[in-house]
Structure 1
Amino acid sequence: MRAGYLVRKSEAPKQTGSLDTMNTQVDIPDQEAWDAWQPAELAQRLSDISLPWCVAGGWALDLWHGAQTREHSDLEFTILRENFSTFRRAFSDLEFYTAHAGVVTSLPADRDPPTEVMQFWGFDRAAECWRIDMMIEPGTNEFWAYKREPSFKRPRAEMVMRTADDIPYLNPSAVLLFKARDRRPKDQQDFERALPNLPVIERAWLKNCLDALHPGNEWARAL
């Protein structure tokens, strides 16, 4: 199972009118069956979309480093909620599932995503594996906003960076802000690897966020 994300399968059909009336244990794919695409594959599939999106998580840090520094169990990227249908059409070969409150549930092709759900997994039925982890980011075209506290925002132009081959990825300071709350072993490694090259202005922003959201956080002291 993916480290840091505990999910459980729906155990019984839901009542008529719910998100998925036929979603049973048998219907949900194996949640450990991840064989995620790499960022270059994702960027190629989204090359015709000009709407905001960016790689997040550990892969974003590695795009910033310019090299893969560790294994990645998934491929996380963010979009804006109003653009969900456009991005879903770009992955017409995948089946989508919501990942919310510890439960993975099928999202039929004719259903809009529930307003409370912000994470969606894409399953490749032909290859029998998960390919992408698509997440809603509560910002706008002009501003990036922190999902856990949307009042923390910055201009999108500052928060979305690009590789030499034009793959958009989240600013490492924002990636580390997400990781600071739980600080799993891989998160600690990511922080220690990123810290020496993190610009002074980004260190200051990250420290201010940590002091406000996670007082006493060990990373704030290191910054």
Structure 2
Amino acid sequence: MSFEQCQSINLLMAEFDRTWFFAGGWAIDLFVGQETREHQDLEFAVFRKDQISLKDYLDGWEFKKVVKGEFHSWENEFLELPIHEIHASNVLNEDNIEILLNETKDNDWTFRRDLRISCPINSVWSITKTGIPYLKPEIVLLYKAKNTREKDHQDFVTVKDYLEYDQKNWLRDALEIHEPEHNWLQFLI
């Protein structure tokens, strides 16, 4: 199977001069190198500090911020936590993208749900051989650990044997802080 939707977004974002990367289930599939399940949405992430640059870059798109589960028009205000999700629609071709804002502090990425969890900012994403950026799977799985759905568990099962020792350790340590009773811990020994 191909990654046509990801390649399309990669082309769209080719001139964006800030860091961005696919998130969610697509990031898992990009890491593994094949589409392992059907995806209902297309989401990528940027660092919170780059949100206005992204909005300027996608000039002509309509934006909505998600506040307490409801969509609201996003004008030009700088979005702060707890707002972390934006939906963008291209009015010309009806493409839709979900954009997730990721936190940074100094030279570190920080987990918005528990700021005790962090890692160096340059270790948060990787790039496929075809040039598509994606959030590293251990970070994707950390996000999926809260309120784990069937598709989240499927993503974990898909990727767990591909994770290197350091990735498993990082995820185990993060889960022990954030979700110490999570059943994935038994597979990360």
TM-score (norm. length: structure 2): 0.89
CA distance in 2, matches of 1:66, 1:177: 20
Question: Which residue identity is paired with 1:81?
Answer: R
User: What root-mean-square deviation, in Å, do the aligned CA atoms of Structure 1 and Structure 2 show?
Assistant: 1.8
Are 2:34 and 1:67 equivalent residues in the alignment? yes
* Secondary structure in 1 matching 2:117: strand
> Is contact 1:207–1:220 with CA below 8 Å preserved after alignment?
yes
Counterparts of 1:192-211 in structure 2 under 5 Å?
A: 192-211=157-176
Match of 1:144 in 2: 109
Q: CA deviation at 1:115?
A: 2.1
* Secondary structure in 2 matching 1:175: helix
CA distance in 2, matches of 1:38, 1:156: 26
Give the number of the structure whose residues are more often helix, by fraction.
2
CA distance in 2, matches of 1:217, 1:41: 35
Q: CA deviation at 1:127?
A: 4.0
Q: CA deviation at 1:141?
A: 7.3
- Structure 2 spans left out of the alignment, 5+ residues: none
Match of 1:183 in 2: 148
> Is contact 1:45–1:90 with CA below 8 Å preserved after alignment?
no
Change (3 A) 1:114 1:158: closer
- Structure 1 spans left out of the alignment, 5+ residues: 1-36
Change (3 A) 1:204 1:114: closer
Between stretches 139-148 and 211-220, larger displacement belongs to 139-148
Match of 2:71 in 1: 104
Are 2:131 and 1:166 equivalent residues in the alignment? yes
Change (3 A) 1:46 1:140: farther
Q: CA deviation at 1:140?
A: 4.9
Q: CA deviation at 1:90?
A: 2.2
Q: Deviations over 1:63-101 (max 9, x none)?
A: 101111111111111112222122112222320001121
> Is contact 1:52–1:141 with CA below 8 Å preserved after alignment?
no
CA distance in 2, matches of 1:178, 1:81: 16
Are 2:182 and 1:217 equivalent residues in the alignment? yes
> Is contact 2:52–2:78 with CA below 8 Å preserved after alignment?
no
Match of 2:24 in 1: 57
Match of 2:118 in 1: 153
